[in-house]
């Protein structure tokens, strides 16, 4: 087996609220969204429409988000499990000090920005669904 890429698919309550958080708080861009009717793929959201899936990206990072009912239908193993995870998603970035300040200025309450024993300057936040996102930059 050759592994080519890992793209997490998050179960979420609301696609629109999740897109709003990732775009306006973290600077991600919408790649595509699938409306509730599942009759096509859209590159922007339409007012008054509900969505079941979206893919967002920022630089080399891609994340997928799927509304809970659709997720549990597609991922049978998730049928009786609540939203959430005992995992953090660790994203390496550049200019961590500036990004940390931007999040604080937006009212986001990240953990302390610190340098870990393994040489990464890092902090963590929770997204609007409760998932833990870690942001880190290699130290010199």
The whole model's pTM is what? 0.88
Q: Domain 1-78, what fold?
A: 2,3-Dihydroxybiphenyl 1,2-Dioxygenase; domain 1 (3.10.180)
The CA distance from 16 to 47, in Å, is 10
- Of the pLDDT bands very low, low, confident and very high (cuts 50, 70, 90), residue 79 is confident
- Of the pLDDT bands very low, low, confident and very high (cuts 50, 70, 90), residue 83 is confident
User: Is the pLDDT at 18 greater than 90, yes or no?
Assistant: yes
Q: How far is CA 111 from CA 23, 41, 64, 129, in A?
A: 21, 36, 24, 17
The CA distance from 5 to 136, in Å, is 20
- Of the pLDDT bands very low, low, confident and very high (cuts 50, 70, 90), residue 86 is confident
Looking at residue 87, its pLDDT comes to 82
Q: Which CATH superfamily is domain 84-140 in?
A: 2,3-Dihydroxybiphenyl 1,2-Dioxygenase, domain 1 (3.10.180.10)
End-to-end CA distance of the chain: give it in Å, rounded.
Answer: 35
Domain boundaries, the chain: 1-78, 84-140
Q: What is the pLDDT of residues 124-139, one digit of tens each?
A: 999 999 899 999 999 9
Alpha-carbon torsion angle 12, 13, 15, 17, nearest 10: -110
- What number is the average pLDDT over the span 27-37? 96
- What number is the average pLDDT over the span 59-81? 91
């Amino acid at each position: 087996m050759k592994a080519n890429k890992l793209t997490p698919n998050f179960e979420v309550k609301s696609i629109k609220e999740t897109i709003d958080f990732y775009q306006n708080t973290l600077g991600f861009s919408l790649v595509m969204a699938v409306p509730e009717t599942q009759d096509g793929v859209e590159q922007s959201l339409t007012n008054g429409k509900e969505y079941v899936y979206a893919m967002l990206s920022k630089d080399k990072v891609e994340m997928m988000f799927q509304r809970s009912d659709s997720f549990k239908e597609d991922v049978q193993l998730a049928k009786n499990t609540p939203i959430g995870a005992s995992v953090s998603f660790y994203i390496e970035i550049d200019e961590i000090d500036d990004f940390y300040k931007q999040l604080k200025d937006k009212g986001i309450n990240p953990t302390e920005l610190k340098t870990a024993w393994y040489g990464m300057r890092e902090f963590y936040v929770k997204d609007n669904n409760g998932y833990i996102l870690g942001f880190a930059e290699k130290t010199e």
